[in-house]
Amino acid sequence: MQNTQEKNKLVRWPYLLSGVVSMLFAGIIYAWSILKAPLTEEFGWTPSQLALNFTLTMCFFCIGGIVSGVLTKKTSPKVTAVISAILVFSGFTIASRMSGISVFTLYISYGVICGLGIGMAYNAIISATNAWFPDKKGTASGAMMMGFGASTLVLGNIAALLIKSESIGWRTTYLILGISIGIILLLVSFIVKYPSKDIRFPEVKSNKTAKNSAFITRDYTTSQMIRRFSFWKFFMFSITLAAVGSTVISFARDLALSIGAADALATMLVGVLSIFNGFGRIFSGILFDKKGCRFTMTTANIITISASAVILAAVISNSIILGVAGLCLAGISYGSSPTINSAFTSLYGSKNFPMNFSVVNTILIPASFTATAAGSLVTATGSYVAPFILLIALSVVSLFLNISIRQP
């Protein structure tokens, strides 16, 4: 028995590796701030028009997760991954041929088709891969989330260089991205699968889950999950937690410039934010496995409150040092959110994880509107003080929600 378990532990790691690689490519949607740059220059589309495209992308990313949950349950993660590969390839290909006559072509190609395809791949691949790691739910989720978050830094910078190249340009870059992501997802579709029921993995050690002991261990259907008041507490907690990080990311560069950072430093800090975003994902995953759900959620909460408070102090004092520290904390905070969502959802059981996870991921829709509200406050007041007072308030509300959750 012990030898069988040790063999199964070795067999499962290639699945995690393929999951991380696929998430690295799928995470390109977060590099929209880079990919949108040439569109304003060539077509004259306004910042608000381009911002709406990102909102649409996030909405259809969440819808794609729900579609994936239903489709994967009826077929397999392989079928879902193949369809997502076709959608992402098609979306980028159509976007690469835009004439600029109407911005709706962008909305349909990138926002709807790419968002839907990546949302489907995200849900199917993470759900299937997590099933191989019942004893390391947090670590597995964190590794894949790190790949997803690191995409902006890795592929985003590569895309930026290709866009600036006179011999390549943005159209060819979009086409290259569509082909590359499509191929990766297609290859992963031949790998991704759920472990068979007869495979035995190491049992979760009791000292790692002591803080979750109040939870009744069984598979919850999506209907059962959403009828639990504790689920809605977690849902609201996740919205407020993610809202802080997503808001800071949305205007990180402008924020750095406002406190006196040079243009080159402000641009570099966006990359630093991405690095700490990726670090936060793997950090929270390992913490979840080592210390349990409650400890991880509370730690993320404290980091989130600290991030907002430190950045507010930086804005008031025009301190670049405090600004850098605050942005790093914000990156860790935002990175913790998706890993906690995945790991917490796994506590409702593995049988209905794809659909349950897709429902939890809809927190991205209301969370994204916080950035819009914060941007309006900056426009109205001419300062970043009011937005960060709002973010501190949200993170404190998040802490109270967290404390009130007694069991999943």
pTM (2 d.p.): 0.78
**Is the Cβ–Cβ distance between 52 and 112 less than 8 Å?**
no
pLDDT of residue 64: 93
**Is the Cβ–Cβ distance between 185 and 84 less than 8 Å?**
yes
Kindly report, residue by residue over 300-342, the tens digit of the pLDDT: 999 999 999 999 999 999 999 999 999 999 989 988 888 888 8
| Degrees, nearest 5: CA angle 369-138-27 | 45
**Cα distance between residue 293 and residue 304, in whole Å:** 16
Kindly report, residue by residue over 195-224, the tens digit of the pLDDT: 887 777 666 555 444 444 444 556 888 899
Kindly report, residue by residue over 363-397, the tens digit of the pLDDT: 888 887 787 788 778 878 888 899 899 999 988 99
pLDDT of residue 325: 93
- Cβ neighbours around 42 below 10 Å, total: 12
**Cα distance between residue 281 and residue 153, in whole Å:** 15
**Cα distance between residue 335 and residue 274, in whole Å:** 9
**Cα distance between residue 270 and residue 253, in whole Å:** 6
What own/partner pairs with CB < 8 Å and gap ≥ 24 does 107-114 have? 107/52, 107/53, 107/56, 110/53, 110/57, 111/53, 111/54, 111/56, 111/57, 111/60, 112/56, 112/60, 113/87, 113/88, 114/29, 114/57, 114/87, 114/88
Kindly report, residue by residue over 241-278, the tens digit of the pLDDT: 888 888 887 777 788 888 988 877 877 787 788 788 87
C-alpha closest to that of 298 among 290, 308, 288: 288
Kindly report, residue by residue over 179-190, the tens digit of the pLDDT: 999 999 999 999
pLDDT above 90 for 22: yes
Q: Which domains does the chain have, with CATH numbers?
A: 8-189 (1.20.1250.20), 215-404 (1.20.1250.20)
Enter the tokens of residue 74: 């009826």
In this prediction, residues 2-29 reach a mean pLDDT of: 77
